[in-house]
Amino acid sequence: MKRHVIPVCLLWAMGGLCTVPTYADEVYTIYPVPQEQIAVDGQVSLTPTVNIVCDPTIDKYTKDRAQEVLTAHGITVSFTDAAVSGQTNIYLGVAGSEGVADQKATELGIDRSVLTKAGKFDRHIVSLTSDGANAQLVILGENTDATFYGLASLEQMLDKGTENLPCVTINDYADQQSRGLVEGYYGYPYTVAVKKDIMKFMARYKLNTYLYGAKSDPYHSGYYLDPYPTTITEQQEKNGWLTQDMFKELTSTAHATKVSFIWAIHPGLNTKTDQDVTDVMNKFKLMYDLGVRQFGVFTDDAGGYDNPDNFPLYTQFFTNLQNQIDATWNTPGAAPADTVKPLHYVPHVYNLTWTSQDNRQAYFKALSEIPEKIVFYTTGYGVWTVPNNNDLNTMKNEFGRDVAWWWNYPCNDNGRSDSQIFPSDMYSNFIDMTQVNDNSRMPTSLEHCAGVLSNPMQQGEISKIALFSVADYAWNNDGFDNMKSWEAAIPAIISEDYAPAFRTLAPYLRDNDPSELTTLIQRYKTSIERGQEADAASLKAKMDEIIAACETVAGMETSEVESDRLFFNDLRPWLNLVHDMATTVNDFLEAKDVDNLTDKWTAYLAAQKKANAFATDSRYTVETLESMGTNPTVGSYQVNASAVTLKPFVTEWMGSKAFNDMFPERQSIDAPTAYTTADGITPPRVQSNQAGVCMATSTTYTLAPGDLLAIQLVAPVHVYNLTVADTVYNHFDVVHSQNGKTWSTLAQGAVLDTPCKYIGLRNKTNEPQPLRPNRATFRFEIPQPATVSGATIPSGEVWQNHTSNYLYDGDYSTFCVLNRNQINNDAYQITLSKATPVYDVRVCVGTTNGDYMNSAFVQTSNDGQRWTTLRIKGTNITNFTMENENVVKYSDEMSYCDFEADGDSIRYVRLLVRNANTSKWLRLYEIEVNKLYNEFGEVPTAMTNTGIGVTEVFDNQPSTYYSSPRTGELTYNLQHPNLVDNVTVFVDASSDYDATVTATRDGETWIELGELTGAVTSFSLADAHCTDAIAVKLRWTGASPIVHEICEEASTVPVGIDKPTAVTGSAEGIELTNNGGRLTVKSNDAIKSVAIYGIDGRVLANVNAHGKSLITLPRVASQIALVNVKTNSGQSASYKVSIN
């Protein structure tokens, strides 16, 4: 607010009490912040009955408002023609009217200079003094409307009471002429109750303009020539339709609140001919009869700006239309209440970047010839630009006059914004609004501006928080204080029983969480990730604070105050979300403290289900109407709040990271690595690139008989171009395995035609052999990730720089889109850097606003001429629709579908639109090649009986799961190269299922392990004598169990037996084998004894065989053991056994 130093002086009033004006920053807390408050010495109290004296120029609505204000504060009101002795007298007048109030202002010597301040609007004075015994108040305006706004200041002055009021003079005016909102968003129009409540709010905070042009109102656009109906259905009312009686109700409230309710028509491109003028005037006349006294014309989002020949026709249309309005209703002698104010016009080119600069300037030059009284709108540089002087100066230069700003703030009708609300201070909202997302600040003086109108959220009651600050700024540009304004808005809008709780809650309703919460969550995450004790108590205390605030605010649902109830209806899904996120965090924290594994898993699942529900449950859903006209479609969005930190913490991190310790640690790698069974050597580094895979070392290793040095790949894949030095074959076999348990030997010169996860060299001799593994001696190639060199898209202008680069940037939040509707045979194509074997393609399509095709093909080609159409993965379907059951919802904005390819060498991949949705754009987020191949390899770790790879059951993520509605099987290939003692299956036990678990050593014969019976079921492979199993299988009838994780616990028993390391005699007929996880010695000759030694030479076990030909050895606790077998005939053999 502005500080003014007032010289000390004496003001003598007739009958005179000496009053001493001083300077003050703030005598009363009033919003919008007044331009000037001057403290006057003394205090006064209002009498129980107050007499109001009005000049003849004060209209009925101003008188009614004065009575409303005083009555609401417990004061009895009377109206007379003259002051009443012994009572408080309030004088309402218009400067220059020579009425009683005007004369009283002269009598008191009130300085009227503010009333002639140039370039300002609704200028008025509020003077509260004492007449010697009682309070006296003068409100003098430049017109009755300005006096009306003085009553808004009085209303807030009386909110502190009616006694001992400091005397004051308030000199006030608005910096902007039009102040208010435009109901012009895409979505459900406000209900009649909300519209009326907003108008009452506007009266209190000096907003004067309600520009109505709801995009989903069919009688605003599609049926713009037809009269509003007299009756509508319940569904039509929900969709925002209005009857004639509803309009009469709205215009009555508008007149009472002195809000100019401007009804706007959207005739599309029909603004060129005399007949168009006649048609629009006929509709205006219908609306005039319903009480409308100001009109607007919208031509936004209708095209029409690309043909300069039409520009003069537009000019003539608006000139003739304004002239006809004046000739019809603004004739000499017409009563003020019957006249119609000037048109408001939202043009085709409503922002500076909507068309080329030359075309824009030609458009503005032509339209500058329309009558100057018509209010012309802009959104500035872009659609979402914050008001600024640079853009206004551009408009002034090109259009030649001041323009009003249609401000898309705090609008949430675009993309993911539909899921957001903006209840924060203005500058925080700028950051949260994805279309703004900057640090804009409001200029202290907005030049060449004819008004600021907010296009608010689809939630009108919540929008009042932002509108409060819009009102504050539009009234007093220089006096605007962002945080003070926001802090004042909450108690101004919400009843005192709920306002403090909402103030606590508000920071969590925005996208960007408050820093205090972010710090608590980050500290907790860091501790868990480092294996340290986490501060769960502080985090829980914060959640309890949020929960308590939510539960208090929920009381607004049954508040006696209507605006509270309306506010709650808008807030409900976001309130539900924040409340339930906080309770779910607490549930996760409690589950962390449970010791019993089954109980812990059950508690975890209960919390995780609550977290999963945030993406689907209708408690967190908001509906919206998409597009405009007569047949808008209904869309729905899962709401967002605390979306940067709290929401991902509870929906992703807690479920996937905080409970990983429930599962045994998996053996996994993310790049090829060396693997050996040799003792005492450090495996070399593995080099993997476009040139191939090899061990990179200059070291020569010595491998004992049977020792293996191999490369372990991330997943089983086909290897090709295998190169082995001829000399290597003299002493080593090339061996390979899919699982590290069953190995095969590849003959010299043979082609490896099966996928493998392990491939390497094994000493095939009976003597230690040297080996230097490097590129020259042993190398091969594996399929490399597909790389993209570029993309091509259909012809047409790209929308807001959403170029083809976004099709292959790997970012699931960016998309490519044209600034036009889709058409049949639109092709979106990526080009690979080189011909690449393609196994799968993923296409990510946007779902916002229904911007996707009816159907399409996904195709591949090696020459760009002959195309192969791919099948949706796991099906024989080639016709791609977003309704297909295999389409996966990734987010509220995007879903994806995977397609199968045959591994052919490919250069080009495209999405070809077969059946276009010609009323929609197409948002394409990503085209990815070999996405699944790079994750699964060629032999999935887990696979259904239909051949579909499943990652969810071995990803160490407790939140993910696999389920199927049909009878089937799920095979899990054991990953640990050692023997496995136990397999544990984690499921959701709340579902009904009939499932058994089996295991296999060879992939053909399956051994029964038991039934899946509880949330956590462990199966002993040792008890089933199949610790050397290579896979387990879940088989079910009917719906499958919901399988979250399959875990394996490695045994200390060896995988296999190496060749003898030392042999005495022929040792023929001696066989050392693994039998169900135990070592067994079998000999054709009678066995005398078996000794087991540790690597340090210590005897671990000594077994007297007593001449038996078959014995089973005891288990020993050692990583490396030597087994020496002696027979009665004197033969001896020693074996090295790897025990991990």
Residue (of 336, 354, 429, 342) closest to 391 by Cα position = 354
Q: What is the predicted pLDDT for the residue at 354? A: 86
- What 3-state DSSP class applies to 354? coil
Q: How far apart are CA 836 and CA 829, in angstroms?
A: 16
Q: Identify the CA nearest to 813 among candidates 926, 899, 897, 652.
A: 926
| Fold matches, 800-929 and 942-1050 | yes
The model's pTM is 0.77
Neighbours of 229 (CB within 10 A): 16
541-593 pLDDT per residue, tens? 999 999 999 999 999 999 999 999 999 999 999 999 999 999 999 999 999 99
Regarding the domain with residue range 21-174, which homologous superfamily does it belong to in the CATH classification?
Answer: Chitobiase/beta-hexosaminidase domain 2-like (3.30.379.10)
Tell me how many degrees the CA angle 474-479-480 measures, rounded to the nearest 5. Answer: 60
3-state SS track over 29-49: CCCCCCCEEEEEEEEECCCCE
Domain ranges, ordered by start, for the chain: 21-174, 178-493, 507-662, 673-781, 800-929, 942-1050, 1060-1138
What is the spatial distance between Cα 93 and Cα 101, in angstroms, rounded to a whole number? 5
Write down the pLDDT at residue 1074: 61
d(CA 458, CA 466): 13
Place of tokens 């804009």: 440
Tokens of 980: 């496995």
Q: CA torsion sign, 710 to 714 to 715 to 721?
A: negative
pLDDT for position 850: 86
Query: CB-side exposure of 513: number of CA atoms within 13 Å?
Result: 20
Place of tokens 């605390």: 642
Beta bridge partners of 179: 452
Strand partners, 76: 49
* Architecture of the 673-781 domain: Sandwich (2.60)
Q: Are 123 and 142 in contact (CB under 8 A)?
A: yes
Amino acid present at 563: S
Coil, strand or helix at 683? coil
Q: Give the C-alpha separation, 930 to 841, whole Å.
A: 6
Give the integer Cα–Cα distance in Å for 267 and 269: 6
CA pseudo-torsion sign 879, 882, 883, 884: positive
Residues of the chain with confidence (pLDDT) below 70: 1-25, 415-417, 627, 629, 667, 934-938, 978, 1051-1068, 1074-1078, 1093-1101, 1114-1121, 1136-1140
The residue written with tokens 């010609």 in the block is 918
The conformation of residue 481, written as its DSSP 8-state character, comes to -
Name the residue type at position 497. D
One CATH from 3.20.20.80, 3.30.590.10, 2.60.40.10, 3.10.20.30 for 178-493: 3.20.20.80
Domain 1060-1138 has CATH 2.60.40.3080: yes
825 CA to centre of own chain: 32
Give the integer Cα–Cα distance in Å for 112 and 106: 9
CA 359, 360, 362, 366 torsion: positive or negative? positive
Q: Which helix (H) or strand (E) is 679 found in, with range?
A: none
Task: Report pLDDT for 449.
Answer: 97
The rounded distance, in Å, linking the Cα atoms of 77 and 570 is: 36
Residue 774 buriedness (CB in 10 A; 0-12 / 13-18 / 19+): middle
Identity (one letter) of the amino acid at 1032? Answer: V
Contacts by 427-431 with C-beta closer than 8 Å and gap 24+?
Answer: 427/482, 428/510, 428/512, 429/466, 429/510, 430/386, 431/512
d(CA 280, CA 333): 25
**Three-class secondary structure assignment of 1081-1102:** EEECCCEEEEEEEECCCCEEEE
Tokens linked to 695 = 């061990």
The HSE-up count of residue 600 (CA atoms within 13 Å, CB side) is 15
> What pLDDT does residue 16 have?
34
| Residue 65, phi then psi, degrees to nearest 5 | -65, -40
What architecture does CATH give domain 800-929?
Answer: Sandwich (2.60)
* 696, 775 contact by CB (below 8 A): yes
Q: Are 452 and 671 in contact (CB under 8 A)?
A: no
**How many residues are there in the chain?**
1140
- CATH of the structural domain 942-1050, one choice from 3.40.50.10490, 2.60.120.260, 1.10.3720.10, 2.40.30.10: 2.60.120.260
One-letter identity of residue 1074: N
Distances (CA, A) of 282 to 323, 374, 442, 627: 14, 19, 41, 26
**pLDDT at residue 90, rounded to an integer:** 98
Order of strands, sheet of 1060-1064, starting from the edge strand that comes earlier in the sequence: 1060-1064, 1132-1138, 1120-1127, 1087-1094, 1099-1104
Structure tokens at 928: 């990815």
**In terms of Cα–Cα distance, which of 1083, 1086, 1084, 1087 is closest to 1072?**
1083
User: How far is the C-alpha of 260 from the C-alpha of 415, rounded, in Å?
Assistant: 31
Question: 32 preceded by cis ω (within 30°)?
Answer: yes
Considering only CA atoms, which of 22, 19, 18 is closest in space to residue 4? Answer: 22
Distance CA 452, CA 121 (A): 13
> What is the SS3 assignment for 1056?
coil
| Rounded alpha-carbon distances, angstroms, from residue 391 to 387, 403, 431, 799 | 8, 10, 21, 21
Nearest to 656 by CA among 588, 743, 581, 561: 588
* 60-72 and 244-257 helices, crossing angle to 10°: 80
For 115-128, letters b (16+ CB in 10 Å) and e give: beeeebbbbbbbbb
Strand partners of residue 1031: 973, 1000
Whether omega for the bond prior to residue 410 falls within 30 degrees of 0, making it cis, is yes
Residue type (1 letter), 225: L
Q: What is the DSSP string of 187-228?
A: SPPPPHHHHHHHHHHHHHTT--EEEE--TT-TTTTTTTTSPP
CB 351 within 8 A of CB 385: yes
Q: Tell me, what's the pLDDT at 59?
A: 97
Would you say 846 and 813 are in contact if contact means Cβ atoms under 8 Å apart? no
In whole angstroms, how large is the CA radius of gyration of the chain? Answer: 40
Q: How far is residue 953's CA from residue 962's CA, in Å, rounded to a whole number?
A: 7
Integer Cα distance of 274 and 297 in angstroms: 16
| Neighbour count for residue 545 (Cβ, 10 Å) | 15
Collapse the DSSP code of 977 into the 3-class scheme (helix H, G, I; strand E, B; otherwise coil) and give the result.
Answer: coil
Second-level CATH architecture of 507-662 = Up-down Bundle (1.20)
Q: How many helices, marked H, and strands, marked E, lie in the chain?
A: 21, 55
